[in-house]
Structures are given as C-alpha cells and as structure tokens.
C-alpha cells in the first residue's frame, strides 16, 4: 500500500513513517485502517502490514465500541473539525491499552478523504487513576465506618437517637444540595457533611443517665449539664481526629457537634455565636435537629404534626435559624415530610443505595 505524505500536516517534509508519535490514517468511507506508523502499531501490538485493511472495530475494546461511534458521529457528519477522547484498544494477547486520540480531516493527492489519528499512550496514567479511585473509595468507606461506629455509641444510650440521626443526615443533604447560591463545598463534601451529621449528638454519651434518660422535663441545672454535650462531642471528635494525622475528614463533624445549638440571633450555646459566625454546616444542622425533635415522640412530650413543626421553623427564621437556610427548608417541605415519615431501615437503605440522589 502506498505511503501517505501529509507533510503540510506534520509541519515538516517527510512521511508519517518518520514521525516519533503514534499516527494512523483511517479511510473516512469504510472505517478501516489505511495506514499506521511504527509507534501506533506498537500500541496495538500488531505489525503494520497486518493492521492495514483491518476494521477499527477489530482492535477496539468491545466495551468502547459504542463510545467511539458516539464521539465520532459529529466529526464524521462534518459538524466539528476535530475531536478528542480516550478509549481502549485490544491487543492480540487480550490485554487492553488506554489511549488518548485526536482526530483530524485530511485528503491525499487524489482528493480522497481520510481521517488522521494522533495517539498518546495513557495506559499507565489510567491504571494509576483507577488505583487511586479505588483507594479513595476504600478511604471514604473507612471514614464512614469510623463515623457510624462512633454514632452507634449514641444509639446504645438512647434508642431514639438512631432514627433521629438517620433522618437528620438526609435533611442536611437536602438543604445543602438545594441552596440557591454557590456553596463553598463540592458534591463530595456535601455527602461527607451529611454523613458527619450522624455525630452531632455524640457528646450525649458523656451525659449521666438520670439526665439523658429522664422521662420528665429537665430542671435548669440538669439542662445546663445537658448543654455540655456540644463541647463533649467536639472534644471526642478532636481526640479521634488527632489519631488520623493529616486526614481532616472529621472537621465537619466537629463543627456540627459543637455549634448546632447556636442561634442566628446569638442567644444559643455553647459560645453564643451570631449570624455568619456560626459555621454553615451547624446552621443547617440546627434546622434538621429542631424539626426532627419536634416531630419525634419523647417521654416528656407528644410529637408535633408536620404543619405545627413547619410553623415553628417559619417563626424562627431570622432569630433561631439562618433565614436563607430556613427558606430552603420550607420550600422543600414535601420532601422533608416524606423523610420524617419513613422508617429508619428504609432511610439507611436509601442513603446506601444512592448517596448522590437519596431524595426525589
């Protein structure tokens, strides 16, 4: 087969045979391999003469066949002048190799149309990325396991806490995902924050049973002791975090546990922070925590209805709660009600099944 001499494309005289980078030429009409140089044939693991005339489908990984067709469709139809994407080729030994491909149009001396492919072998890079993704996934699971293990301590002390944390986790994610302005958090961070919400009451493990489990309303002195669960929880999280060295994944859990009882008007505890001084995560937690506490049946009170609880949230906007976050909460009250009315086991399955879309 004749050699293709697109010296104008290379920017210097000579054929693609002299190019140090992998280059191939595809017949634009029948999608077969018209030419490959030595670097490209090395990627495919086949001799040049064997490759010429073969279909590109014969050397493409089966799982990437539809990908190639989809990405090349606008290029073949003339809608774009060039296209670039990553795909896998399949070598004769059955092993796949990742390449980054760039496609360009060209013609030979007879004005016959061809597609010119320039390849970069990215197999090692992709393998490293896949390994890194796997390690990050394992790390995320380990982090979640640590937080859940700590949260279980609260469930041992107070059975209601288990259902409470399952619901508040989804309330938190709902509020942050549906904020009307750009958040300082990525979607991954929002999921971490939602998971961190399970530790908001971890400090209650340090509250004496006669106070924590009291069936009646607390006295003033007892309530002062109960309020210390915020600093007890923050301290426990900080101590755990120190053992994790440079991993800061418990940072959100610490600020939620410590400040979720602060109020927008500055009259909350334990510090009396006001407005934006309160971490955004804790402001969101305040809404989730209060609503769910109102809706819950406790020894000292009957559960409030959804309508009554929503009215209290609405009345507290701008005093107890961040008014912007309260607006988000109130505008999604149908979904809030659904979460509040769903059993813990189903909420847990829902969150595990698809943490990116745990609500409608």
Comparing 197 with 139, which gets the higher pLDDT? 197
Least confident piece of the model among 5-14, 24-33, 47-56, 317-326: 5-14
Give the pLDDT of residue 5: 46
Confidence of residue 228 (pLDDT cuts 50, 70, 90): very high
CA pair distance 17, 70, nearest whole angstrom = 30
* Mean pLDDT value of segment 226-231: 96
pLDDT tops 60 at residue 358: no
* Highest mean pLDDT: which range of 8-22, 31-45, 205-219, 321-335: 321-335
Least confident piece of the model among 54-63, 71-80, 177-186: 177-186
pLDDT tops 50 at residue 355: no
Confidence of residue 149 (pLDDT cuts 50, 70, 90): low
Equal CATH topology for 7-121 and 127-352: no
Could you give the residue ranges of the DSSP H alpha helices within the chain? 7-10, 38-44, 48-51, 65-76, 123-157, 159-177, 187-196, 209-212, 220-226, 229-242, 251-259, 280-295, 306-316, 323-331, 333-340, 344-353
Q: How many CA atoms lie within 13 A of 71 on its CB side?
A: 15
Least confident piece of the model among 118-127, 140-149, 160-169: 140-149
Sequence-distant (≥ 6) Cβ neighbours of residue 322 within 8 angstroms: 264, 275, 278, 280, 283, 284, 286, 287
Strand partners, 101: 85, 119
Tell me the CATH number of domain 7-121, given options 3.40.50.1010, 2.60.40.10, 3.40.50.970, 3.30.450.20: 3.30.450.20
* Mean pLDDT value of segment 44-54: 91
What's CA 92's distance to the chain center, in Å?
37
Q: What is the mean pLDDT of the chain?
A: 83
Confidence of residue 111 (pLDDT cuts 50, 70, 90): low
Comparing 321 with 214, which gets the higher pLDDT? 321
Give the pLDDT of residue 305: 94
pLDDT tops 80 at residue 221: yes
Least confident piece of the model among 105-114, 246-255, 306-315: 105-114
Other CB atoms within a 10 A radius of the CB of residue 110 amount to 5
Comparing 2 with 309, which gets the higher pLDDT? 309
Please tell me the class of the 127-352 domain. Answer: mainly alpha
Least confident piece of the model among 3-12, 98-107, 153-162, 269-278: 3-12
169-183 core/surface letters (b: 16 or more CB in 10 A; e: else): bbbbbbbbbebeeee
Confidence of residue 273 (pLDDT cuts 50, 70, 90): very high
- The residue extents of the domains of the chain are 7-121, 127-352
336-359 core/surface letters (b: 16 or more CB in 10 A; e: else): bbebbeeeeeebeebbeeebeebb
pLDDT tops 60 at residue 12: no
Give the pLDDT of residue 184: 74
* Highest mean pLDDT: which range of 179-183, 235-239, 274-278, 293-297: 274-278
pLDDT tops 60 at residue 324: yes
Other CB atoms within a 10 A radius of the CB of residue 102 amount to 13
Give the pLDDT of residue 357: 39
Give the pLDDT of residue 7: 44
Give the pLDDT of residue 8: 39
Structure-token match 């393998």, residue found: 127
pLDDT tops 70 at residue 156: no
Least confident piece of the model among 177-186, 250-259, 279-288: 177-186
Give the pLDDT of residue 34: 87
pLDDT tops 80 at residue 14: no
Comparing 5 with 158, which gets the higher pLDDT? 158
pLDDT tops 70 at residue 162: no
Least confident piece of the model among 186-190, 272-276, 302-306, 328-332: 186-190
213: closest CA among 294, 159, 142?
Answer: 159
The dihedral through the CA atoms of 204, 205, 208, 211 has a sign that is positive
Strand partners, 33: 26
């Amino acid at each position: 087969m004749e050699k293709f001499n697109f010296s104008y494309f290379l920017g210097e005289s000579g054929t693609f045979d002299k190019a140090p980078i992998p280059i191939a030429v595809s017949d634009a009409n029948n999608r077969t391999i018209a030419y490959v140089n030595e670097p490209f044939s090395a990627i495919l693991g086949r001799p040049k003469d064997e490759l010429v005339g073969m279909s590109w489908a014969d050397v493409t990984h089966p799982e990437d066949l539809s990908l190639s067709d989809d990405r090349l469709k606008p290029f073949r139809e003339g809608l774009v002048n060039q296209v670039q994407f990553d795909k896998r080729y399949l070598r004769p030994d059955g092993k796949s190799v990742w390449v980054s491909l760039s496609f360009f149009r060209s013609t030979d001396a007879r004005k016959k149309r061809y597609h010119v492919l320039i390849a970069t072998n990215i197999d090692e890079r992709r393998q490293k990325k896949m390994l890194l993704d796997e390690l990050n996934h394992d790390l995320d699971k380990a982090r979640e396991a640590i937080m859940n293990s700590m949260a279980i301590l609260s469930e041992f002390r107070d059975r209601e806490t288990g259902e409470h944390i399952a619901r508040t986790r989804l309330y938190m994610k709902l509020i942050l995902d549906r904020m009307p302005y750009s958040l300082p958090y990525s979607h991954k961070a929002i999921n971490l924050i939602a998971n961190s919400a399970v530790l908001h009451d971890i400090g209650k493990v340090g509250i004496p049973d006669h106070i924590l489990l009291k069936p009646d309303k607390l006295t003033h002195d007892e309530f002062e002791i109960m309020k210390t669960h915020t600093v007890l929880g923050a301290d426990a999280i900080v101590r755990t975090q120190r053992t994790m060295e440079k991993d800061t994944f418990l940072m959100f859990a610490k600020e939620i546990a410590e400040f979720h009882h602060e109020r927008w008007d500055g009259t909350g505890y334990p510090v009396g922070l006001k407005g934006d001084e309160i971490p955004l995560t804790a402001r969101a937690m305040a809404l989730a925590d209060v609503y769910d506490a109102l809706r819950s049946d406790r020894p000292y009170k009957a559960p409030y209805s959804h309508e009554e609880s929503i009215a209290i949230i609405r009345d507290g906007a701008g005093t107890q709660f961040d008014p912007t976050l309260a607006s988000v909460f109130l505008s999604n009250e149908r979904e809030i009600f659904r979460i509040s009315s769903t059993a813990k086991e189903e909420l847990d399955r829902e969150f595990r099944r698809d943490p990116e879309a745990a609500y409608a």
